[in-house]
Structure 1
Amino acid sequence: MAAKSGVWGIDIGHCALKALRCEYDSENSMLVATAFDYIEHPKILSQPDANPQQLIREALTQFLDRNQVRGDRVAVSVPGQNGLARFFQPPPVDMKRLPEIVRFEARQQIPFPLEEVIWDFQMMGGASEVDGFLMEAEIGLFAMKRDQVYAALQPYLSADMEIHHIQLAPLCAYNFLAHTLLAEAMEDDMYDADSPPDSYVALNVGTDTTDLVVTNGFRVWQRSIPLGGSHFTKQLTKELKLTFAKAEHLKRNVREAEDPKAVIQAMRPVFSDFLTEVQRSIGFFQNIDRRAKIGGIVALGNAVKLPGLQQYLSKNLGYPLVDVEKQAWAARLAGQEVMSSPKFKENMASFAICYGLCLQGLGRAKLQTNLLPKEIITERLIRSKKPWAVATAGALMLAFAVSFFFEYNEWYKVHPTTRFDQVTWEQAMSEVGSVQTLSSNFDTEDRQRLTRLEELAALGEELSGNSDRRLLWLELMKAINRALPVDENFAPNQIPDPRVIPISQRRDLHIEYVESQFFEDLANWFSPTVKRKYVEELLRQEGKIAATVGPVEALPVEAEVPLDGEVDEESDGEADGEAGRDEAGGQSLDVPGGPSGNDGDNQEAGAEGVAPIVDAEAEAVIEAALAEFDLDAITGPEGPGWVIELRGYHFFNEDPETWAGTHVRDTLLKNLREGTLSLPIELGEALEEFTMEELGIGYAILAVERLIDHNHRIPNPYYEPPAGKPGGTMGPGMGTGPGMGMGAGMEGLGGFGGGQQPQTGSPKKPRTKPGVDEEAENPRFFPAPKYSFVVQFCWQERLLAERLRAREQALMDEDDEQMDWADDEDAVAGDNELPLTTEPGD
Structure 2
Amino acid sequence: MESYPVVWGLDIGHTSIKAVKLSRTADAVTVLGYAIEPIPSGEGVDRDTAVVSALQSLVGREEIGNTPVITALSGRQIFARTINIPLINEKKLDKMVELEARQQIPGNFDEVRWGFYKTPSIDESSYDVAIFAVRNEIVDDLVSKSKQVGLNLVGISVTSLAIYNYVQFDQDFGAEETVVILDVGAENTDLVVYRGDSMWMRNLGVSGSDITRAFQKKFRVSFEEAEQLKCQVGESRQADKIFKVIEASLGELVSDVQRSLGFYKSSNPDTTFECMVVSGNTFRLPNLTQYIADRLGYAIITLVETERISIDHGLDRDHFLEDLQSLGAAVGLGLQGVGYGKADVNLLPSSLRIQSLLRAKRWAAIAILVIIPLAWYASYAVEQGRLNENWELITRIHQGVEQNREAEAGVREVIAQIPDITRESMQYAHYAAHVGTLAAVESALIQAAADFIDGDIEVAGRDEAAADGGSPHLAPVYFSSMQIPRQEGSGADLFRPLRQSRMVEVVYRTPETVSRQEMNARMLQKLSDVRVTQEMWRVANPQVDPASVPVGEDLPRLFRNVETMQSRQVMDHYYYMDPLRRTETGEPAPEEERVQRRQVPMRTLVFRCELGPIEGLDALGGE
**Normalising TM by the smaller chain, what interval?**
0.5 to 0.7
Q: Distance in 2 between matches of 1:243 and 1:106?
A: 41
2:297 pairs with 1:315: no
* Bigger strand share: 2
1:317 shift after superposition:
0.6
Contact kept? 1:169, 1:353, Cα under 8 Å:
yes
Deviations 1:395-453 (A, max 9, x none): 9xxx9xxxxxxxxxxxxxxxxxxxxxxxxxxxxxxxxxxxxxxxxxxxxxxxxxxxxxx
Contact kept? 1:84, 1:144, Cα under 8 Å:
yes
Q: Distance in 2 between matches of 1:380 and 1:179?
A: 27
Q: Distance in 2 between matches of 1:182 and 1:114?
A: 40
Contact kept? 2:122, 2:198, Cα under 8 Å:
no
Contact kept? 1:172, 1:356, Cα under 8 Å:
yes
1:380 shift after superposition:
4.6
CA distance change for structure 1 residues 218 and 243 in 2, over 3 Å: closer, same or farther? same
Contact kept? 2:276, 2:298, Cα under 8 Å:
yes
DSSP 3-state at the match of 1:201 = strand
Q: Distance in 2 between matches of 1:143 and 1:213?
A: 18
Q: 1:37 aligns with which of 18, 35, 50?
A: 35
Task: Tell me what 2:270 maps to.
Answer: 291
Paired-residue identity, %:
27
DSSP 3-state at the match of 1:93 = coil
Task: Tell me what 1:231 maps to.
Answer: 210
Contact kept? 2:33, 2:315, Cα under 8 Å:
no
1:32 shift after superposition:
0.6
DSSP 3-state at the match of 1:239 = helix
1:248 shift after superposition:
2.5
DSSP 3-state at the match of 1:32 = strand
Q: Distance in 1 between matches of 2:83 and 2:207?
A: 30
1:93 shift after superposition:
3.1
Task: Tell me what 2:540 maps to.
Answer: none
CA distance change for structure 1 residues 103 and 256 in 2, over 3 Å: closer, same or farther? closer
Contact kept? 1:339, 1:345, Cα under 8 Å:
no
Q: Distance in 1 between matches of 2:39 and 2:146?
A: 17
Task: Tell me what 2:310 maps to.
Answer: 334
1:481-520 correspondence to structure 2 within 5 Å: none
Structure 1: which 5+ residue stretches go unaligned?
129-133, 186-196, 400-608, 610-842
1:164 shift after superposition:
0.8
CA distance change for structure 1 residues 306 and 49 in 2, over 3 Å: closer, same or farther? farther
CA distance change for structure 1 residues 125 and 250 in 2, over 3 Å: closer, same or farther? same
2:10 pairs with 1:18: no
2:341 pairs with 1:365: yes
Q: Distance in 2 between matches of 1:120 and 1:360?
A: 15
2:254 pairs with 1:275: yes
1:213 shift after superposition:
1.6
2:355 pairs with 1:355: no
1:125 shift after superposition:
5.4
2:9 pairs with 1:9: yes
1:108 shift after superposition:
2.5
Deviations 1:332-378 (A, max 9, x none): 11014476445423321111001110110011111112111113224
Task: Tell me what 1:166 maps to.
Answer: 156
Q: 2:60 aligns with which of 58, 61, 65?
A: 65
CA distance change for structure 1 residues 324 and 51 in 2, over 3 Å: closer, same or farther? same
Task: Tell me what 2:50 maps to.
Answer: 55
Q: Distance in 2 between matches of 1:375 and 1:15?
A: 31
Q: Distance in 2 between matches of 1:136 and 1:76?
A: 31
1:133-212 correspondence to structure 2 within 5 Å: 136-181=126-171, 184-185=174-175, 197-212=176-191
Q: Distance in 1 between matches of 2:129 and 2:213?
A: 40
Q: Which amino acid aligns with 2:212?
A: T
Q: Which amino acid aligns with 1:351?
A: L
1:463-612 correspondence to structure 2 within 5 Å: none
Q: Which amino acid aligns with 2:25?
A: D
**More displaced 10-residue stretch of structure 1: 291-300 or 227-236:** 227-236
Q: Which amino acid aligns with 2:48?
A: Q
Q: Distance in 2 between matches of 1:342 and 1:201?
A: 26
Q: Which amino acid aligns with 1:32?
A: T
Provide the TM-score with structure 2 as the length reference: 0.54
Larger Rg, first or second structure (1 or 2) = 1
Contact kept? 1:182, 1:216, Cα under 8 Å:
no
RCO higher in 1 or 2 (8 Å CA, sep ≥ 6)? Answer: 2
Q: Distance in 2 between matches of 1:208 and 1:243?
A: 17
Task: Tell me what 1:488 maps to.
Answer: none
Task: Tell me what 1:375 maps to.
Answer: 351
Q: Which amino acid aligns with 2:270?
A: R
CA distance change for structure 1 residues 285 and 59 in 2, over 3 Å: closer, same or farther? same
DSSP 3-state at the match of 1:170 = helix
Q: Distance in 1 between matches of 2:43 and 2:262?
A: 35
CA distance change for structure 1 residues 290 and 338 in 2, over 3 Å: closer, same or farther? farther
1:227-266 correspondence to structure 2 within 5 Å: 227-266=206-245
1:149 shift after superposition:
1.6
Q: Distance in 1 between matches of 2:94 and 2:183?
A: 32
Q: Distance in 1 between matches of 2:190 and 2:349?
A: 24
| Number of residue pairs aligned between Structure 1 and Structure 2 | 367
DSSP 3-state at the match of 1:325 = coil
Q: Distance in 1 between matches of 2:318 and 2:44?
A: 32
Give me the CA root mean square deviation: 3.1
DSSP 3-state at the match of 1:120 = strand
CA distance change for structure 1 residues 76 and 367 in 2, over 3 Å: closer, same or farther? same
CA distance change for structure 1 residues 50 and 276 in 2, over 3 Å: closer, same or farther? farther
Deviations 1:726-774 (A, max 9, x none): xxxxxxxxxxxxxxxxxxxxxxxxxxxxxxxxxxxxxxxxxxxxxxxxx
Deviations 1:604-637 (A, max 9, x none): xxxxx9xxxxxxxxxxxxxxxxxxxxxxxxxxxx
Q: Distance in 1 between matches of 2:303 and 2:35?
A: 20
Q: Distance in 2 between matches of 1:150 and 1:182?
A: 38
1:21 shift after superposition:
0.4
Q: Distance in 2 between matches of 1:122 and 1:338?
A: 36
Q: Which amino acid aligns with 2:159?
A: A
CA distance change for structure 1 residues 103 and 208 in 2, over 3 Å: closer, same or farther? closer
Q: Distance in 2 between matches of 1:6 and 1:17?
A: 19
Task: Tell me what 2:279 maps to.
Answer: 300
1:625-636 correspondence to structure 2 within 5 Å: none
Q: Which amino acid aligns with 1:7?
A: V
CA distance change for structure 1 residues 98 and 234 in 2, over 3 Å: closer, same or farther? closer
Q: Which amino acid aligns with 2:295?
A: N
1:291 shift after superposition:
2.8
Q: Which amino acid aligns with 1:228?
A: S
Q: Which amino acid aligns with 1:65?
A: G
1:118 shift after superposition:
1.2
Structure 2: which 5+ residue stretches go unaligned?
377-469, 471-623
CA distance change for structure 1 residues 80 and 222 in 2, over 3 Å: closer, same or farther? farther
2:334 pairs with 1:344: no
Contact kept? 2:74, 2:188, Cα under 8 Å:
no
CA distance change for structure 1 residues 84 and 221 in 2, over 3 Å: closer, same or farther? farther
Task: Tell me what 2:413 maps to.
Answer: none
Provide the TM-score with structure 1 as the length reference: 0.40
Q: Which amino acid aligns with 1:37?
A: A
1:249 shift after superposition:
2.6
Q: Distance in 2 between matches of 1:260 and 1:91?
A: 51
Deviations 1:509-533 (A, max 9, x none): xxxxxxxxxxxxxxxxxxxxxxxxx
Q: Distance in 2 between matches of 1:62 and 1:260?
A: 34
1:231 shift after superposition:
2.3
CA distance change for structure 1 residues 289 and 209 in 2, over 3 Å: closer, same or farther? same
